[in-house]
Amino acid sequence: MNSDRNHWSFSDDPINLIEVGHYVDEVSDFASRVEKASRYFCIAYNNYNVVISPPRRHNVNRHGLGSVFHHDAADIAWRAALIAKMLRAEVDPHVAQSPLIKKAVELLVDNEVSSHYLLTMLDSDHMRAFHELADLVAAEGTIITKTARHLAAIEDAKAAEESHKDKYDEAVANLIEQAGGTYGLAEAAALMNISKAALHKAIRANRALGFMRSERIVLPCIQFSDAVVGVPLTVIDGLPRVLKLFAEANEDPVRALQWLMTRHGILKDTPIAALKTGNTEQVTHLARGFLQLDGAP
């Protein structure tokens, strides 16, 4: 059966995430049942030479309806619309009472009481039974559509978040490379001739620059004094004052490193390089202005 694949617009009525979770089982179950039922209807109508023009069908794309609980939402919504259209057409009672149609009704109605009610009605008033079932199928199809659209939106949001995280990780990696790499906590503590606990305490007190990377604490090498054989490494003078300003402004250590590594016109160098030459006052003054803290110029 050929179908028109033009885009099929739906209502923008919202359905919240609680409702999405509530419909998980119902949607998945209905999706399975409507797939089988639509085939029964098509076979039965074809056997009796009943011709029904199929409804328009979705073009599925990244911004449209994706999968819902391992089902193609666009296909299920289309099948539901097809069944509803078939049910609302004028058909001979012999068609309505055929075994395949009865199987389809049993599939589409999810409880025994309603199923018995509609099957009984098929014998006495098949058009009324068909119309009631059409309303039920159309309503379920709308649920499928709304749920799919919200899940697609959630998936898009997650993809955007993951893309942002990838870009952030790449930027941090580049920054670390420019900073001469990093030491692990144990390595840095050994080079500084202090315990890991003492160094960890120093990081938390903003006396050293450290942050989590690949589930471990790392310390950028650029923050330390130049290595001299036999002399423990130390954090360059003035850096703790800058780190405390960034902590006061609720900025994370990576943001602090980025600022320290960015050339400043007034300094004619990077803040970290200026600290190494002893220009602490001007660097802290500029940091306070950058962070818009009280006392900033």
Residue 52 to residues 83, 89, 139, 281, Cα–Cα distance (Å): 10, 8, 21, 83
Residue 7 falls inside a structural domain: no
Do 156 and 193 fall into the same domain?
A: no
Q: Is there a domain that residue 10 lies in?
A: no
Tally of CA atoms within 13 A in the half-sphere of 193 that contains its CB: 7
230: tokens are 């036999």
Give the CA angle between residues 34, 141, 157 to the nearest 5°: 115
Residue partners of 143: CB distance under 8 A and separation at least 6: 15, 23, 26, 27, 30
Instruction: Domain count for the chain, please give it.
Output: 2
The helix (H) or strand (E) run that includes residue 219 is strand 216-220
- Cα(290)–Cα(43) distance, integer angstroms: 72
C-alpha span between 196 and 34 (Å, rounded): 62
Question: Residue type for 27, please?
Answer: V
Say yes or no: 183 and 279 in one domain: yes
Q: Judge if 31 and 140 occupy the same domain.
A: yes
List the structure tokens of 182.
């990093």
From first to last of the 297 residues of the chain, give the pLDDT tens digit: 333 333 222 233 333 444 444 555 566 677 778 888 888 888 888 877 766 665 665 444 444 444 544 456 667 777 788 888 888 887 777 888 888 888 888 888 766 677 788 888 888 888 888 888 888 888 877 777 776 676 667 667 777 777 888 888 888 999 999 999 999 999 999 999 999 999 999 999 999 999 998 889 999 999 998 877 788 999 999 999 999 999 999 999 999 999 999 988 888 899 999 999 999 999 999 999 999 887 655
CB 245 within 8 A of CB 208: no
Burial tier of 294 (Cβ tally within 10 Å: 0-12, 13-18, 19+): exposed
Instruction: Confirm whether 172 is domain-assigned.
Output: no
Same domain as 184, residue 110: no
Name the residue range of residue 143's domain.
Answer: 17-162
Provide the whole-model pTM: 0.52
Is 297 within a domain?
A: no
| Tokens representing residue 143 in the block | 């649920």
Q: Does one domain contain both 158 and 183?
A: no
Domain termination residue (choose one: 162, 192, 212)? 162
